[in-house]
């Protein structure tokens, strides 16, 4: 009996077909977009974040290793936190000496919808050890007020 690792439907293997489509797309984009430095200029990555509530604040912590304070921009618009910037290389190194290259350099951007209304004018941001920490005070909920009839 033949062993099948992937499901086959009537002789048709959807995973094999997806792999074929991926190879075709990679080939197509390889012909259209030249490899090398031009591709790095087109890439934008999104930092990983933790979003949590503590006391009366929303806290957002984002991993941005290697980013300098002056290369990071933080905004709040329409109750969304926008983090963008760039991690720049310190120096150019020759490719022939690399055994592995996994660190990413370039522009980054992340838009995070905030879980509730905040006071953007009172937000504070700090960067330490590659972690951007943003503390945003929550807006006070509307108080219920009884109105006496006259």
What are the pLDDT digits (tens) for 60-107? 999 999 889 999 999 999 999 999 999 887 666 665 666 776 777 788
Same domain (yes/no): 65, 111: yes
Distance from first CA to last CA of the chain, Å, rounded? 88
Residue 124 falls inside a structural domain? yes
The pLDDT confidence band at residue 33, using thresholds 50, 70 and 90, is: low
> Out of 39-43, 94-98, 143-147, which region has the weakest mean confidence (pLDDT)?
39-43
Number of domains forming the structure of the chain: 2
Tracing tokens 């991690």 back to the chain, one arrives at 87
Residue 127 falls inside a structural domain? yes
d(CA 150, CA 14): 73
Same domain (yes/no): 18, 84: no
Domain with 36 in it: 9-42
Same domain (yes/no): 119, 60: yes
Cα–Cα distances in angstroms (integers) from residue 53 to residues 57, 59, 60, 106, 125, in the given order: 6, 6, 9, 30, 15
Residue 149 falls inside a structural domain? no
Same domain (yes/no): 108, 36: no
At 90, is the secondary structure helix, strand, or coil? coil
Please indicate, yes or no, whether the overall pTM of this predicted structure exceeds 0.75.
no
Same domain (yes/no): 70, 108: yes
Residue 70 falls inside a structural domain? yes
| pLDDT, tens only, 117-127 | 999 999 999 99
Residue 111 falls inside a structural domain? yes
Same domain (yes/no): 121, 62: yes
């Amino acid at each position: 009996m033949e062993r099948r690792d992937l499901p086959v439907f009537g002789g048709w293997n959807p995973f094999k077909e997806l792999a074929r489509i991926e190879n075709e797309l990679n080939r197509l984009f390889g012909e259209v977009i030249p490899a090398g430095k031009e591709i790095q200029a087109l890439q934008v990555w999104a930092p990983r974040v933790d979003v949590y509530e503590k006391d009366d604040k929303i806290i957002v912590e984002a991993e941005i290793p290697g980013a300098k304070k002056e290369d990071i921009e933080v905004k709040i618009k329409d109750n969304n936190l926008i983090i963008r910037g760039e991690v720049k290389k310190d120096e150019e190194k020759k490719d022939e000496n690399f055994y592995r290259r996994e660190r990413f350099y370039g522009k980054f951007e992340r838009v995070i919808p905030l879980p509730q209304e905040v006071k953007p004018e009172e937000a504070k941001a700090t960067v330490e050890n590659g972690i951007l920490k943003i503390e945003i005070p929550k807006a006070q909920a509307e108080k219920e007020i009884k109105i006496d009839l006259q």
